[in-house]
Each structure stands twice: as structure tokens, then as C-alpha cells.
Amino acid sequence: MPDIQSPLPGTFYHAPSPDSEPFKKQGDQVSPEDTIGLIEVMKTFIEVKAEVSGTFEGFSVADATPVQAGDILAKVG
């Protein structure tokens, strides 16, 4: 089961804006090019790409949480 890891340190967000739906919900189909979340660092939001295909099984860290590079952000089955 592939994990999606954070490419860099920063603050991880599940949704494109505070009022929006999360990028992915449990059971959604995931393609490698899909954005699954955002990392905020240095006044920039960087899209996190899935880089794997499968079914989205959920986020591994809460919304708006500080993360380190290499942390597991979400699981895809």
C-alpha cells in the first residue's frame, strides 16, 4: 500500500482554502498527477501530487499540521 510522503517541511492542508472541500475523500480514485493537499512554506503554497494510482484511504495527519520532509501525509490503497 503506497504512502504519500511530504516532499518538504511546512504546514500541510487538506483543502485548497479554509471553506473548500478537501482535495480527496476516502474512497476517491487517485491518479499520479492528482493534487492531494498543499504545503505552505516561505509564503508559498506547494501542491502535493499523489504520484501513485489507487483508492484514497485517508489523510494520515490532521489539517493545518506542521510536517517534516518525508512524513506520511496520506494513504492510497
Partner 1 sequence: MAIKVRKPGLSTSIQDLGRPGYFHLGIPEGGAMDRFALRAANMLLGNDEGAACLEAVFMGPELEFEADTWVAVTGATMPILLDGEPREGWTAFPVSKGQVLSFGFLKEGARIYIAFAGGIDTPMHLGSRSTYVIGALGGLDGRPIAAGDTLPIGTPGKVSERKLDRALLRPSQNPVELRVLPGLYWDRITEASQERFFAEDWTVAPEADRMGYRFRGGSPMEFVPREQPFGAGSDPSNIVDGCYSYGSIQVPGGTEPIVLHRDAVSGGGYFTIGAVISADMDLIGQLQPNTKVRFVKVDMETALDARKERKKRLQTIRDALTTA
Phi/psi for 13 (5° steps) reads -120, 140
Looking at beta carbons only, is 9 or 16 nearer to partner 1? 9
Interatomic CA distance for residues 21 and 5, integer angstroms: 21
**Site membership for partner 1, residue 7 (CB under 8 A):** yes
* 42 lies in the binding site for partner 1 (CB under 8 A): yes
Helix (H) or strand (E) run with residue 53 in it: none
Give the length of the chain. 77
Interacting residue with partner 1 among 2, 22, 28, 40 (CB under 8 A) = 40
For partner 1, which stretch binds (CB under 8 A), given 13-21, 30-38, 54-62, 65-73? 65-73
**Backbone CA torsion sign across 68, 50, 30, 52:** negative
Residues at the contact surface with partner 1, assessed by CB under 8 A: 5-11, 40-44, 46, 66, 68-70
